[in-house]
Every structure is written in C-alpha cells, then in structure tokens.
Amino acid sequence: MTTKALESSSATLDNVLLAMDFVLAQFEAGKEATMNDPVMAPMYNSGWAKLDKYYRLTEESPAYVAAIVLHPSHKWHYIQENWKGEWIEPSKKLIETQWNEYKPMEPPLPLCEVPSTTTNEFLNWRNKHLQPSLTMDEYERYCNSERVYGFTSALAWWLEETQQKTYPSLSKMAVDILSIPAMSAEPERLFSGAKITITDRRNRLGSDVIEALECLKS
C-alpha cells in the first residue's frame, strides 16, 4: 500500500518521512498487540529494527526534513505535532544549514519608515508596530505565514509565479528538493531505457546530449 503510493510520478521527497512514520506506527501497534506471541513478536521487532536503521539514515541529509517543511500544508506543524521534542531542534539546525546554501549573501533591506499622518501619539505607536517586518529572511517569513491548501502538489505551488516572486531564493531550494522522487524506481527505469536512445546509428552522441535527452524523458 505504502510502496504503491510512493511509486507514482507525483510522489516526491516530502512523502518519504510521512510514509516511514505511517509504517512505524503499524509496527508499534503490532509490537504492542503481539508482545506475548512467540511467533509474531520477534517478527515485529525485526521489522521495527530494520525500519529504524533506514530512518536513522535520513538524518544524514537535511533534504528529508526540508521536504516536509517546504510543503506549504505542513511547514513545521506536522513535525511539531508528531515528533519527539528532542528530534525537532536538530532538524531545525539541519534545515538552517541547507538554507544557508541558498540564502542571499546580502541581508534584506530594512523597512522604510512611513511618515506619520497623525499627531495622535497612540495612533503613531500603533501604526509603527503594525507595519510588516521585512527584516526576516525568506525562510522565516515562509515559516511564519499561514499554511496553504488546495493545490495539486507542493512542487506545483512553488513553481507558481507568486511564490517565485515572494520567495525568490527559497523557491529555488524548494524546487531542487521537491523535484526529488520518493523512490528511485522511475529514475532507474529511465537509466535503463538509455540503451534505446544509444543505437548503432547514434554512436556519436556525447554524454552531455544523452544526459539532456534522458532528463527530457523524465
């Protein structure tokens, strides 16, 4: 069931940890239900241990967590609601490290102060403090904004012109990460299909041309 869902062409990296959390929940429930079963209990324990091994491997790359956070319907909400507290802070540091590779070198310009149109001190104070802050970088502004629903995919949302203009650097990071398929099955099929491209009559194709052709086929 989980494998079938992740084999689709629209299944990208943001589904990986969610799918692993789903399978982990099944193992946890199975372990509890069969703890006194001499046959099933060891099987559930072995399955849980194998899943835990691969779950730990996802900690080696920030892309897995970033894919969830860059999903506009999830952001940090899913992680904060479903993960243990001690897992969240290291995850935030991982994403900040990843974001630093895309983050503009120059900080955003401070917000220009709007001239006051009233002599009322309270209204001046209120207007000053209600002005939107532009000192936050793109990632902070994205995380602090409301979650979004009603789109076809997270990747499609980031490819919209609105997001490209609002988050010019963060959108590049999002597209790079959310373009990664959840499983390698489709890339492997494309790689194997290269033999159809390279025929005897196309024996002078360069590696760059072959790479471009396979990317277009994907």
Give the orientation angle of helix 168-178 with respect to helix 85-100, to 10 degrees.
110
Query: In the numeric block, which tokens belong to residue 206?
Result: 């360069």
Rounded to an integer, what distance in angstroms lies between the CA atom of residue 24 and that of residue 51? 7
**Across 205-211, average pLDDT:** 83
**Would you say residue 134 has pLDDT above 70?**
no
**Would you say residue 111 has pLDDT above 50?**
no
20-24, 100-104, 125-129 — which is least confidently predicted? 125-129
pLDDT of residue 163: 95
pLDDT of residue 211: 80
Beta carbons of 61 and 180 less than 8 angstroms apart: no
**Would you say residue 199 has pLDDT above 90?**
no
Question: Which of 186 and 211 is assigned the larger pLDDT?
Answer: 211
Q: What global pTM score does this model have? A: 0.70
> Which helix H or strand E contains 123, and what residues bound it?
helix 121-130
Cα–Cα distances in angstroms (integers) from residue 178 to residues 12, 35, 127, 155, in the given order: 6, 39, 39, 6
Name the pLDDT band for 105 (thresholds 50, 70, 90). confident
Name the pLDDT band for 175 (thresholds 50, 70, 90). very high
Q: What are phi and psi of 42, to 5 degrees?
A: -65, -30
Q: What is the distance between the terminal CA atoms of the chain, rounded to a whole angstrom?
A: 24
pLDDT of residue 197: 77
pLDDT of residue 155: 93
**Would you say residue 15 has pLDDT above 70?**
yes
Averaging pLDDT over each range in 6-10, 133-137, 174-178, which range is the top one?
Answer: 174-178
**Would you say residue 104 has pLDDT above 50?**
yes
Question: Which of 199 and 10 is assigned the larger pLDDT?
Answer: 199
Averaging pLDDT over each range in 67-81, 177-191, 202-216, which range is the top one?
Answer: 67-81
Rounded to an integer, what distance in angstroms lies between the CA atom of residue 59 and that of residue 214? 30
Q: What is the pLDDT of residues 31-71, one digit of tens each?
A: 999 999 999 999 999 999 999 898 888 888 899 999 999 99
